[in-house]
Amino acid sequence: MIKRKILFVIYIFSLLINYDFYVNAYYEPGEEIIENNKPEYRSIDDLLKELKEERKLINQQKLDEINQKKLQEQNENGESQDEIHTQEPTKPKKDTDNENIPKLIVRLRGKHSPKYLCSYDFIISDDNKEIELTKEIINNYNLLIKKPSLKVRPGEIINFEFVPNCKSLKAHIWDEENETLKEVKVKRGCIEVPDLDKKIVIVITGNFSNGYIKYGIVLDIRK
């Protein structure tokens, strides 16, 4: 009986020895196994998107807290929410006087600059009443001649145009010696620079249905 057991053990052992069992310590798995066991990592775009959503949520929570505090303060002050929503922001008042004053466009060599407009005197006639809108009344030409000037040459053509258009346009040159205004010929809103070599003041007058306006312009004539 014992011999049979020994023979049986030897037989099993011989079978195990003959079995082709190979173990490689340097065995590397195939690509399919690597892909299947590869851990999933989130992309940077997904992380950034999640971060933005979290920030929006945090900002919204802060905004809700601020609004809640404002509502509490308003309730403490006795102000209702409806009254607060119906309040309109104050709008700046428009300068109606400046809206009523016609603008003068001065063109020299195709260019226009308003910095040469020295002064104006605007009178509105309504029901035999005169309303004077003045920025600086043209009555002191010695003061006007010291203001910024437009450099021109004798014989050059200067064009004047009122916006809105006037019924008629006249131009005068201030005569310092006689202290009088001398009318200059105007053709289609244009004048010719006189043959002088000094600074002069030209007064442009535009007549409208509701009054007239005067602009003073300094010309620095250089030969």
Q: Is residue 48 part of a domain?
A: no
**Domains held by the chain: number:** 1
CA dist., res. 88 & res. 99, Å (int)? 25
CA dist., res. 41 & res. 49, Å (int)? 15
How does DSSP assign 157-177, residue by residue?
EEEEEEESPPSEEEEEEEETT
With a pLDDT cut of 90, the percent of the chain lying above it is 0
Q: Is residue 74 part of a domain?
A: no
Q: What is the mean pLDDT of the chain?
A: 71
pLDDT for the residue 83: 46
Q: Is residue 12 part of a domain?
A: no
Q: Is residue 46 part of a domain?
A: no
Q: Is residue 16 part of a domain?
A: no
For residues 55 and 170, the model is more confident at 170
pLDDT for the residue 132: 57
CA dist., res. 202 & res. 20, Å (int)? 120
Q: Is residue 206 part of a domain?
A: yes
Segment 30-54, tens digit of pLDDT: 565 555 555 565 666 776 777 778 7
Range of the domain at 180: 118-221
Q: Is residue 9 part of a domain?
A: no
Q: Is residue 205 part of a domain?
A: yes
pLDDT for the residue 109: 75
**CATH assignment at residue 144:** 2.60.40
Listed in sequence order, the residues at least 6 apart from 199 whose beta carbon sits closer than 8 Å to its beta carbon are 145, 149, 218, 219, 220, 221
